[in-house]
Amino acid sequence: MPLSEHEQKLLEQMEQALYADDPKFATNIRTAGGSASRGRAALGVLAVLAGLGLLLAGVAFTPALGVAGFTVMLIGAVITYTAFTTRTVIADSSTDGSDTETPITKMPKPPKSGGFMDRMEDRWRKRTEGEQ
């Protein structure tokens, strides 16, 4: 059942609000290869489990089998890691009308507001200066 015009407008407004509130989350949802990433992650997890089985068999039988198991586990871990850290590509409309694909890079982290040690140093300074 198709959405009415009013419902479509509400949905677009909600989508725009989501992009404005949390752009990182919105781009993660918007990625085109979501199911492919999940499939690669599942393949990686299965490879890790198979490698673990080979590693245990290598402990019981021969060290060469254990080395092969470790290698399979390592490859599975890399596949799983890359499935979750793939770059998102969006279409960027340039001024001449042609669409070019631009990778989204990670946004720079904001400067830290002071860690635990900084707060402890500030407290120590206040105590030694007589302030509290």
pLDDT in tens, the chain (132 residues): 787 888 888 888 888 888 888 877 777 666 555 566 788 889 999 999 999 999 999 999 999 999 999 999 999 999 998 888 765 444 444 445 454 555 555 555 555 567 888 888 888 888 888 765
pTM (predicted TM-score) = 0.44
What whole-number distance in Å separates Cα of residue 72 and Cα of residue 65?
A: 10
Instruction: Give whole-number Cα distances, 132 to 97, 102, 115, 125, in Å.
Output: 63, 53, 20, 10
